[in-house]
Structure 1
Amino acid sequence: MSLAVVNSCVLMGMQPHAVQVEVHIGAGLPAFSVVGLPDTGVRESRERVRSALQSSGFNFPVARITVNLAPADLPKDAAHFDLPIAMGILLASGQLAVESEHSPSVPLCIDQYMFAGELSLTGALLRLAAPVAVTWSAAKLGFRQVVVPQVCAEAAAQVSDVQVYGASSLPQLVEALLAHELVCALPEQAIMAGSDAVGLCMSEVKGQQQARHAIEIAAAGRHNVLLRGTPGVGKSMLAQRLITVLPELSEPQRLDVAVLAGVAGRSEPVDTLPPFRSPHHSASTVALVGGSSPPKPGEISLAHHGVLFLDEVAEFTGRALEALREPLETGGITIARAGRSVWFPADFQLVAAMNPCPCGWLGHAVQHCLCTPERIERYRAKLSGPFMDRLDLCINLKVEADVLDATAVMESSVQIRKRVECAQAIQHQRQGCLNSRLDDEGVALYAVLGGDAEQLLRQCVRRWGWSGRSVQRARKVARTIADLAGVEHIQTEHLAMAIQYRG
């Protein structure tokens, strides 16, 4: 056979694409070319594949070899095409065939497999940069059998409904295929929730009952929070412990988080704990929302299904903060470049923290604020009206005497998480989503206000000139407070608390 086709894939953003590696060996001057929009790393696979085949004891054809990565209009920028190219050359040159005494050798059928792996010059298979992303893509494309390097087979096998086979080297893989002795890898154990948050517990937060309650409400409905207070009052401490009261991630959510980390070129442990991202305030707009070429996910996508904590939020550039407005509403972001547009999910929960003024001491009982009213106004104006409109809870923290009481017993994260899980179960059973993700129709159907509560909300609109978005968000928070209380209908006190927490 002078032509062979091997299955592989490529991931563009979060959209997987099937790639057929077509290998043709024909007459002519010896040459080895790769076409189909390969990047530099893929073009360099020619030398790796040549050396790997020769080092493994196979014959490298002295002929004109053409490798086409179809579809040809799709950019290919992954190093895992080494293995399918090598398999295609072996298949096209007749070296991967089943021999029989009564008939000529028959090429081995490998159409049911998808191959991904980088080859060393010795023929060994090297670890994939994003093994979970590869098998996740294979599952989305309908493949049920995937061959990857042995060193990452257990990590790749965490995608259900896909049989993952590991191989340590090219000769070992060929031998196993011919003998039909491929061994299915067992998935490695997912990291249990709490292992990355050792020592973090809400019981360590002394006092701040209002802020603790607000964090519980935010966790139950996935509402966005702004924490304001003087330095050292506990803003960062509360934000870092929010993930300890959130429920564990489901299997699809864990895979989404791992795939996004792999696409970004980061390590991708499959963790049941929601991700927590805390970029420095010097981060650029591209670092926050994603970009570059080819487009990579930013911090908002890496915080997908988790928490994005912006400490000293007023110190971020205005352009970076304004770029968060659309993802906060839609739960995703489209990065458009001249050559392509890529969509990344960004369903994150925003927690922001800031001082009450530039010097930080406004409202402190002892320390005196040195800021002029104009300077305070300029500082607070760094957070625009549209950005503030998307924050559901605005909590002012003050220094309390309880921080000195070492004997005070506070509720632990485990106790709070039980109530949060119960409230979220009520929401999923009632409407199929959390309260913060309700659309206008859902709010009208599930966040119905009584006569007194409706009158109170109208008074707020007239007094503070609330926008329609502010009204809807206040109703969602009131719905969450009622769910935590185990009440079917929103009461006036629930709405009053939501208005109070909105600041």
Structure 2
Amino acid sequence: MCAKVTSIGLKGMEGYRLHVEVRTFIGNDSIRIVGLPDAAVKESKERILSALRSLGYTVNGQKIIINLSPSEQKKSGPMFDLPMAIGVLLSLNELDISIPENHGFLGALSLDGGIVPVEGMLPAVLAAKKLGIKRLYLPYDSKLPVLHFESLEIFYISTLNEVIENLEGRRKSLFTPKAVEVDIHHSESFIDFNQIIGHQGIKRALEVAAAGGHHVLMTGPPGCGKSMLAESFPSILPPLSKEAQLEMIALHQLSGTSYPNANNPPFRNPHHSASGISIIGGGTYPKPGEISLAHRGVLFLDEIAEFPKKTLDMLRQPFENGKITISRTHATLTYPASFILIAAMNPCPCGYAGSNTHYCTCTPRQTQTYTNRISGPLRDRFDIQLKIQPVNLEIEIKKREKSSISIQQRVETARTRQYERYGKELCNSRASYDILQKTTPLNREQQHLIHQLASKKNWSNRTQIKIIRLARSISDLEGETDITNESIQEALTLR
């Protein structure tokens, strides 16, 4: 008899419907798995045999062939143990039931018939939802949030026997985990804006960046506060939506790394000695890099000029597209990489060019060579470019600073306006020029001003569009329906 069971295969974050086809013949005791399985999948036959025998089933005198379809896709990991075991029982007529094609199975088997979670289950569950799976059997993982979807019924199981009894109608109730309430406020590890003295203009620029998801380049001498401002930036970002939380956890699962508080936007701060593969992602079977782990959050590159030029130029594609495609011999995978880049650098090798307190020892040629480490195309992709100077503590310490919570509320309100205007979770920095023109077009006076300045300063088309996006974010912060003249003037100063 030939049996067919549905599971979910993964190709990066993208999933596809995987059919486990099982056929049994009378012959020598053997199990053969075909369909481009890797070593972990091939080892499944030993786990399946041991689990079935522990439950009293026998496969003596049977030759079993298991095909993982589509056969041209490479399969990896022990996630298909459970559907293969169910397929074997169906093929041997040990289960006299009919399993609908929109019922899926995920999980690895232990030798005694238990079902254990594996890495990559969460992206597989998200893929199952997109593929129209109506019911999914999988083991409970306490490290993951409790999943609830309207269109997908999830059954948590712990043993193969529980699955069999449920399929046969002998067990109706299965394990139901309790949802745990998590504090949605930001972690105290982030620096609050009220702890940073001065830099009012810089804080305003970062507020605009947070509201519209804009990239920021900060240039200034050592000790002026660049790193502290960047590390405080996540504290003014709104908490992640449920969908964004699941995406973030799924990416961390695929990379094999632990993830922080799921409610907070991720903050990644790789050292400048990090390799291009660790930042972009890669490997024989490509895994997510730092830019994907910063998805829906912040990537902070301190001393960006010290990073290899080749590595920095690799950022140009995800800057624009919000995703990264990694091509290797064994696979070509695409991962999401929609992040806010905060970069900081010194103005010259010694760091004191233009300083009022220190003498710069660099020659003009040395300064030019240092700044050229960031290529023109990459620099042009930054929405906001800031020059920072040290503050006078005696004057600024007397002023009252705004807290991150008050700024975060303004940012969250501005984000809500954008989502309602575009009809989806899209920030101004990712909105195309066509969308901007349809939703909030500039008037003739504003168009003439930008075109005049672009002609005078030789601005690229990208720069002009970024100014419009910045002006839109500033207007959203001020609660304006249309782009105002004042917001355009402020956007020009930020560029």
TM-score by length of 1: 0.90
Contact in 1 for aligned 2:105/2:137 (Cα 8 Å): yes
Structure-2 separation of matches of 1:380 and 1:403? 33
Which segments of 5 or more consecutive residues in structure 2 lack a partner in the other structure? none
Structure-2 separation of matches of 1:285 and 1:160? 40
Name 2:87's counterpart in structure 1: 88
SS in 2 for 1:474: helix
Structure-1 separation of matches of 2:483 and 2:186? 37
> Deviations 1:281-304 (Å, cap 9, x if unpaired)?
122222222222322222222222
RMSD over equivalenced CA pairs, Å: 2.5
Contact in 2 for aligned 1:61/1:93 (Cα 8 Å): no
| Residue 255 (str. 1) matches residue 251 (str. 2) | no
Contact in 2 for aligned 1:206/1:403 (Cα 8 Å): no
SS in 1 for 2:466: helix
Name 2:75's counterpart in structure 1: 76
Instruction: Please list, as runs of the form range in 1=range in 2, the aligned pairs for 1:338-349 lying within 5 A after superposition.
Output: 338=329, 340-349=331-340
Q: Which moved more, 1:139-148 or 1:84-93?
A: 84-93
SS in 1 for 2:412: helix
User: How much does 1:353 deviate?
Assistant: 0.9
Which segments of 5 or more consecutive residues in structure 1 lack a partner in the other structure? 97-105
Contact in 1 for aligned 2:29/2:59 (Cα 8 Å): no
Contact in 1 for aligned 2:190/2:234 (Cα 8 Å): no
| Residue 438 (str. 1) matches residue 428 (str. 2) | no
User: How much does 1:481 deviate?
Assistant: 1.7
Instruction: Please list, as runs of the form range in 1=range in 2, the aligned pairs for 1:148-167 lying within 5 A after superposition.
Output: 148-152=138-142, 155=145, 157-167=147-157
Contact in 2 for aligned 1:482/1:490 (Cα 8 Å): yes
Name 1:214's counterpart in structure 2: 205
User: How much does 1:14 deviate?
Assistant: 2.5
User: How much does 1:324 deviate?
Assistant: 1.2
| Residue 23 (str. 1) matches residue 22 (str. 2) | yes
Instruction: Please list, as runs of the form range in 1=range in 2, the aligned pairs for 1:171-182 lying within 5 A after superposition.
Output: 171-178=161-168, 179-182=170-173
The 1:112/1:351 distance shift into structure 2, 3 A limit, reads same
Name 1:355's counterpart in structure 2: 346
User: How much does 1:371 deviate?
Assistant: 1.7
| Residue 279 (str. 1) matches residue 270 (str. 2) | yes
Instruction: Please list, as runs of the form range in 1=range in 2, the aligned pairs for 1:8-407 lying within 5 A after superposition.
Output: 8-96=7-95, 106-107=96-97, 109=99, 111=101, 113-152=103-142, 155=145, 157-178=147-168, 179-183=170-174, 185-186=176-177, 188-189=179-180, 191-198=182-189, 200-267=191-258, 271-338=262-329, 340-402=331-393
Structure-2 separation of matches of 1:93 and 1:493? 75
Structure-1 separation of matches of 2:24 and 2:87? 10
Name 2:471's counterpart in structure 1: 478
The 1:22/1:217 distance shift into structure 2, 3 A limit, reads same
The 1:20/1:156 distance shift into structure 2, 3 A limit, reads farther
The 1:340/1:27 distance shift into structure 2, 3 A limit, reads same
TM-score by length of 2: 0.91
The 1:254/1:95 distance shift into structure 2, 3 A limit, reads same
2:459 to 456, 461, 466: 466
The 1:12/1:375 distance shift into structure 2, 3 A limit, reads same
> Deviations 1:374-404 (Å, cap 9, x if unpaired)?
1111110011111011101111111112388
The 1:199/1:311 distance shift into structure 2, 3 A limit, reads closer
Aligned length: 492
How high is the sequence identity, in percent, across the aligned residues? 36
Structure-1 separation of matches of 2:209 and 2:396? 27
User: How much does 1:35 deviate?
Assistant: 0.5
User: How much does 1:473 deviate?
Assistant: 0.8
Structure-2 separation of matches of 1:147 and 1:8? 10
